Amino acid sequence: MKTRLTLAILLLLALFVTACQAPGAPVPQDPLEAVKAIADKQTEVKTQHIAVNLALSLKLDGLTGDQAQAAALFKNFKAEANVSGDVDTAKQDVALTGDLDLGPLTAFIAQGEEKLLFELVKVGDKMYVKANVGETANEWQEQAVPQPATAESKDNPLNPEMITDLLKQSSKAEKLADEKIGEVDTYHYKVTLNPETLIDSVAKLAQSTGSSGAVDEAQLTEAKKYLKDSVLEVELWAGKQDLLMRQTKVHFNLNLKDLPDMPGATALVDFLLTYTLTKLNEPVTITAPK
């Protein structure tokens, strides 16, 4: 009797807790359609705190003679960058700090420092930059930021809407196991993008915004040839309650063969970007440094 009563109480408690939890935002069953729905929701993000890690590795093989000597630093090259800070998308203001490690190049560029350290603040039409190297090391440098003649359009490649539109051109998507990012329960998807389609999209964007002249079809064809064996995957973690992204991972693996002017040479490029977002739509205060 006591056992049954205990089980009944536990069942009631479980039902009560479940009833008190807000239901998750609906997403389509088709993973590709779900990713498109998530991409559309990102326009609701007006402010955020970001933490970005970028890791790059480059391995060159097959070089001989003078070419091998000239490219010695890049035979097995690794670089890493970290950036974090607040972003006000609505005002297009940012306050970021970061560090950059370029492997053997760091000591040369950073004049003996272990890493390149920098801060960047943009407020309105002014940008302020400070780094730990150069003649003005650790001093803020101010410069004007040119403002667009017209309001930001959807054709602007820096517009978040344009980035989500590119994401919606995914050729394949799959649903992975749900995970927690920080304290947020998220849906987890992996997306495969066609690098050739991405090249076409970027070329059209550049042309539509006037940032380049006529697109050179021969160069596009050459670029697509080198990308045919590449892999471009994006993992997304979107909050179950609001479908806003809490983390994104972009993995780009490129295997180049018979490099121009380097017959027999190969280059293996691996690029991994991890982008974590917190404090979505919370108030942020970004001011010019004093």
In a domain, 197, yes or no: yes
In a domain, 211, yes or no: yes
Of the two residues 91 and 211, the one the predictor is more confident about is: 91
The enclosing domain of 198 has a CATH number of 2.50.20
Contact present, 82 and 104 (Cβ < 8 Å): no
Of the two residues 218 and 284, the one the predictor is more confident about is: 284
Range of the domain at 248: 25-79+150-278
pLDDT at 103 (0 to 100): 84
In a domain, 96, yes or no: no
Q: What is the 3-state secondary structure (H, E, C) of 32-61?
A: HHHHHHHHHHHHHCCEEEEEEEEEEEEEEE
85-120: per-residue pLDDT in tens? 999 998 999 999 999 998 888 877 777 778 899 999
Q: What does DSSP say about strands 262-278 and 245-259: parallel, antiparallel, or unpaired?
A: antiparallel
Full-model pTM:
0.78
In a domain, 158, yes or no: yes
Name the residue among 149, 127, 207, 168 with its Cα closest to residue 43.
168
The domain total for the chain is 1
Strand partners, 47: 88
Residue type for 130, please?
A: K
Contact present, 126 and 133 (Cβ < 8 Å): no
In a domain, 190, yes or no: yes
Q: What distance in Å separates the CA atoms of residue 140 and residue 129, rounded to the nearest whole number?
A: 6
In a domain, 208, yes or no: yes
Strand partners, 108: none
Of the two residues 1 and 229, the one the predictor is more confident about is: 229
Strand partners, 129: 120, 141
Strand stretches in the chain, DSSP E: 47-61, 76-88, 93-101, 116-123, 126-131, 141-144, 172-181, 184-192, 231-239, 245-259, 262-278
In a domain, 58, yes or no: yes
In a domain, 50, yes or no: yes
